[in-house]
Amino acid sequence: MREREPRLVDDDVVDQEQVEIYGARAKSWPLARPTEITLDVQQRAEKCLRRKRRLQGGRGVEKPRLVEIPDGVRLAERRDRHNLDLGLFREQLERAGKRGGPVAQIRSEPHIGTTHNPTLNSTAIRSREQHVQHRTMRLLPALVLATLVGGLAVSQAGAATSSLDSTLVALRAPARCTDATLVTMAGGTVVAPSLGLYLVRNDAARRLVPALRKRGSLRLSTPNRVAGSLTATAFTDPLVATEWWRSVIGVDTLTPPGPGRPVTIVDSGIDVTHPEFLGRANTETLNEQEPAGVGGEHGTAVGSVVAAPENGIGLVGVYPEAVLRSWDAAKGAGTQLETFEIVQGILAAANSGPGVVNLSLGGEQREDVIEQAIYEAVRKGTLVVAASGNSGEEGNPLGYPASIPHVLTVGATDSSNGVASFSNRSRFVDLAAPGVAIPIATAVGKGWRTADGTSFSAPLVSGAAAWVWTARPELDASQLFEVMRRSAVDIGAPGRDDAAGFGLLNVPAALTFPAPVRDPLEPNDDIEFVKVDGFYDTSVPPLTTPARRATTVRARIDAIEDPRDVYRVWLPKNGRVTAALSADTNLDLGLWKQTAVSVTQRVAGSDRLARGVKPGTTELLTFTNKGQGRYVFLAVVPSKGVREATYRLRVS
């Protein structure tokens, strides 16, 4: 799991090793940007939506229909598919600028997915609803507009450049309605609309990034790198007669449920013609899967551990009738995954509803956009499971996404229930599962083998979690996270440790383990998570508002996976806010200014407005406002030495 990222061709675009993050900057011309006080996240989203609706015309841009292909595969045929003459478009924009009217670009983005058809035993490509996105851009002075359009236009001849010669560009939330046209005119393609994230060729990004930064529209820019790799030790013996892990995790005496909560593997794709998947019901491919020989080897193996069916051949997965979804994020030989592909896979799963996402991938580079995608998935009710990594014999470097908070991280054990030597150790490991000599399906030769790696421990947990969630639908993702790790069997040194976390996966215990209280407003680990247009903003609503001045919330804190909780609360004009906290251990309360950057500040003269009267299991904080009404931030932070807590917070 330790692939080095290739360097960008053009060193002038962005720094190779650092991500540029830009906050609000002075504008070169006035833009109507409502302040945080008067325009909340929902209001801003509604305003953006109304603006889009006003631009929508009555004629569709594309009409999908199915056409017969000799090999039995159905493809969507596009209509009215014209190449955009950027030179003509620039002239039209300039004429529009002279008229002083708004400029709109209509861009059609079809989403085509593939689903294995158990009747035809072939891959059917479905044409999904065609989404037409309208983007508007405030008019620039004519000279500036001509300069930008001329500099940012990308020829079709250059469009075939590798996506690794590209930059990921994210717009701030207020700019997603106003400046998206500027990005698409630069040849940018949408990666994740909810993140305002685009993929832009480096030569265009060299001009685009400074322009967006000058407008105060840039959220971040970062190279599109190889952000993860798929690794396992060399295949050894043919498929063993039994799957030894079944009795270890306790499923050998259980009857798994029928289809329920889905498991999405973001991996190298599945070979749907393999005997384990040929004719298997509830198998969905969310994008085109690379064929065997190019990709699909790692994804086929991971998918078989999750959901190989009881079909009289090969092996049986941990949850045989699971709804199994696959996003192919790999390129080339199927072992390297680019940042934007991983982001799209995570969000494709999250946007389809609550479920489990399996990430048997990793790298040592922390990627902000992948982290943002994971936080958005968590916010939407997704359980994200990741392999801890296979570098336990190489110094245990922190791997990502395994070391991101709110990710259920899985280490590997052997047949003696000891942690495998190759399994990464870190404080982020939550539990362990078998990962040595695991029988898997292989796309090479469409057979079966055994393999080692945390890549196969993670899908055991993912499949088991989907099983438990199907059997216990009243749980939410935050509760399921705790149930899966806290029901584990302690192994090794007593208590939670860096090698196995809480212990070894135990499915029978997870099916009956008492559910903890829900943690409803995650992720809210710091101000940037809950601030409007914050760097990790996932539209967490404010705890109190001008219309709702009092409320009560119950929640949890974990020093590693959920280190603190921050809430946005309304401070009324010439009024008072009171927060009363009761917990099962010592916690601290603090109230922070609207301009604060983080609640982790420990210096005198910081942005903290007030703190609890005294530390302890009960705290009271009161602050009187002598100015205008505004939002401020209320933080619940564990006291020194506290690893976890459950609390009740009343704000009035």
Query: Of 360, 378, 66, nearest to 229 (Cα)?
Result: 360
Residues 6+ apart with CB under 8 A from 262: 322, 323, 324, 325, 349, 352, 353, 355, 356, 466
Find the range with the poorest average confidence among 159-173, 379-393, 598-612.
159-173
Nearest to 173 by CA among 262, 45, 300: 45
Residues in the chain: 652
Model confidence at 142: pLDDT above 50: no
More confident: 95 or 393: 393
Domains delineated in the chain: 20-224 (no CATH), 228-492 (3.40.50.200), 527-651 (2.60.120.380)
466: left (phi over 0), alpha (psi -120 to 50) or beta: alpha
- How would you write 105-158 as a 3-class SS string? EEEEECCEEEEEECCCCEEEEEECCCEEEEEEECCCCHHHHHHHHHHHCCCHHH
Measure the CA–CA gap between 79 and 544, rounded to whole angstroms: 49
Q: What is the 3-class SS of 424-459, one letter each residue?
A: CCCCCEEEEEECCCEEEEECHHHEEEEECCHHHHHH
Environment class of residue 273 by beta-carbon count within 10 Å: exposed (0-12), middle (13-18) or buried (19+)? middle
Question: Is 80 exceeded by the pLDDT of residue 596?
Answer: yes
* The two three-digit tokens of residue 630, written as one number: 């505004």
> Which residues are marked as active site?
267, 298, 455
| Encoded tokens for 288 | 């085109």
Q: What are the tokens at 369?
A: 């956009």
Two structure tokens written together for 538 = 């996932």
* pLDDT higher than threshold 70 for residue 11: no
Q: What is the pLDDT of residues 50-77, one digit of tens each?
A: 444 444 333 333 333 332 323 333 323 3
Averaged pLDDT, 632-638: 96
The larger pLDDT score, comparing residue 457 to residue 217, is at 457
The alpha carbon dihedral of 136, 137, 142, 146 has a sign of: negative
If pLDDT is split at 50, 70 and 90, which confidence band does 294 have?
low
Taking each helix axis from N to C end, the angle separating 142-152 and 86-99, rounded to the nearest 10 degrees, works out to 170
Q: For residue range 341-394, what is the model confidence (pLDDT) as tens digits?
A: 999 999 999 999 999 999 999 999 899 999 999 999 999 999 999 999 999 999
Rounded to an integer, the average pLDDT of 179-200 is 85
What is the spatial distance between Cα 486 and Cα 502, in angstroms, rounded to a whole number? 6
Q: How far apart, in whole angstroms, are the C-alpha atoms of residue 416 and residue 426?
A: 21
Using one digit for the tens of pLDDT, what is the confidence trace for 469-496?
A: 999 999 999 999 999 999 999 998 899 9
Residue 333 has what pLDDT?
A: 61
- Return the half-sphere exposure (C-beta side, CA atoms, 13 A cut-off) of residue 589: 27
Statement: residue 137 has pLDDT above 60? no
Asked whether the beta carbons of 209 and 167 are under 8 A apart, the reply is yes
pLDDT of 108 > 60? The answer is no
Q: What is the C-alpha separation between 435 and 439, in angstroms, rounded?
A: 10
Cα separation, 162 vs 155, in Å, equals: 15
CB atoms within 10 A of CB 590: 23
CA distance 218 to 204: 15
- Which one, of 315, 335, 323, lies nearest residue 440 by Cα? 315
- The per-residue pLDDT for range 12-47, each reduced to its tens digit, is 333 333 333 333 333 332 333 333 333 344 444 445
Burial code (b: 16+ CB inside 10 Å, e: under 16) for 418-456 equals bbbebbbbbebbbbbbbbbbbbbbbbeebebbbbbbbbb
